A and B are shown apart, each in its own frame.
Chain A
């Protein structure tokens, strides 16, 4: 799992404060607790020993249960209960089960021994020793239970303090972490926003550089990068604009001599029949290629107009089926037309004619008949499909089919069209706010789909 910078900073600061608090408060707590318990233990042992000594001299013969109870009562003191045992007898208020075998064994060796036991949640101390009579062992052992309630409370207080200090440290640490995160994340967020704007094409995006730290250095680098990017893009755009302007200028320059030549091609065509065969062929070739050249130059100029943004829509309310039929009729195209009647649309009829004529002309040239033209209305769109029954488009051709002057088959050389027809159709569709796409049909053959909004803007 990847955590954000803010989360990681918070975690690091929290960990630091917790570890520090645990180390300082925890160590203090442990030492204080041990000291308190130790002192309570020592006091209890001394006190018990004193009480036992106050019983001397003690006559332990005969050893009786009553005597043992008396001894236990004497040593039990205010807060404790005691047990005296010896010679198989025992007496006193302390449950013999509390005294462990381990403790008995130590006392049996003549030592003063003690052991901490847990009595229903509270810690208590059992202290055991052997009674001596005239400095000789009497065979009587005394066990005193001393509850450590006050000490436990003191230790509990210490633990509470340790928790409180740790918690305060944690809060303080988090506060510091938030402040640090703000000071780092603010500039980082600014950088992120700026980088995104730059990526979206706003090349004038710059960041205000504050201070002299590493983040300021990053901001400065960002600004210089953005500046050089802007300069590069401007240079490229200028180059591209120059190239396009050159194409447009050349096309216009070509148009004037072509206008003179195109004007006389009809004369050439009419006279070619009366010329000797070879001369006639030559004249027809000049005439035909002049027309082709004129069409290419026309298309180049049209493309230039799209590039320079000079192409505009002259929209009209159009019965689309009627318009498509007119295009097919005027061009003499032989196709299967299935056109929904009464599809009215606001579009540029001349541009629609250009699109349909290019699509159908392309299908007739490169596909195989029958070519089918269908018109439907789909939601807010007018949809015109032109499908042929040819071999379809190669997968590697498909993405380039609307490229300018793209030739699918280099071996085929120059095709009948200018090589700009589909590109112009595509631009015309886009100018309407529509789209033109190409695909292969499941049953074979290519299909071009034109979608135009019913009301072009």
Chain B
């Protein structure tokens, strides 16, 4: 069963989510501060982090950045307000997805399952591809640039795998939301945009003039052509 680290400062919400996720079959560790959350990640990394953005002390954005810097743990943020600025800032800090409170356990569960799926290997895709300086190992789920491994978050990796599977083909945001985030039509296209920005920062020589992940204005994104 997936292990979930829940970082939420409000005791009632923390209890509610812990009860619900436990009921769904997850092993839940619930903490009330950013510091405790970071300590828990360091001590025993969970499978997924569910993170409230509004935390006293080290806030959710900072926790997000530090967890992301340390590794490729999937992060789902909880926003107390569906504040657009919070959402964008959270995605830029490295969150893979977000859920607006109050959320039913069912919704959070679906998001957790989606981000965990992104980290899974896809059987049958066992080949190494070379795209310019980039080597994508679909079997090992590893990406290297000029021989150096690139640390990608699960969503970033999944997005890169999706785009590079069909170089030159244009993917709309809706299509990417469906295939990468399991959200389909009603998802938030800013998830895609924020993820593309983060991915570019890691794989492009010049993120302002991308050669791998290109924007097709008015339509979406395209891998290459190189």
Contacts and interface: CB of A to CB of B under 8 A. Distances in A.
Nearest to B172: A317
Highest count of chain A CB atoms <10 Å: which of B108, B174, B218? B174
Contacts of B44: none
A294 B82 contact: no
A259 B189 contact: no
B102 A267 contact: no
Interface in A243-287: 252, 255-267, 270
Given A255-B101, A261-B16, A316 B189 contact: yes
Interface string A57-93: 0000000000000000000000000000000000000
A9 interface: no
Given A256-B13, A263-B104, A301-B82, A270 B186 contact: no
A294 B102 contact: yes
B103 interface: yes
Given A252-B80, A326-B186, A257 B105 contact: no
Interface residues of A, number: 34
Contact of A262 (B15, B104, B189, B219): B104
Interface in B68-88: 80-84
Contacts of B81: 252, 255, 301
Interface stretch (B17-25, B120-128, B136-144, B202-210): B17-25
A293 to B, nearest CB: 9
A301 B218 CA distance: 31
Interface in A310-338: 310, 312, 314, 316-317, 322-323, 326-327, 330
A314 B190 contact: yes
Given A262-B103, A267-B105, A270-B23, A255 B184 contact: no
Nearest to A270: B23
A54 interface: no
Contacts of A256: 10, 12-13, 80, 101
A267 B20 contact: yes
21 contacts: A252-B81, A259-B10, A259-B103, A260-B102, A261-B102, A262-B16, A262-B102, A263-B108, A264-B105, A266-B105, A297-B102, A310-B83, A314-B84, A317-B172, A317-B219, A322-B185, A323-B185, A327-B185, A330-B186, A349-B174, A353-B186
The 3 tightest CB contacts between A and B, nearest first, are A263-B16, A326-B185, A260-B16
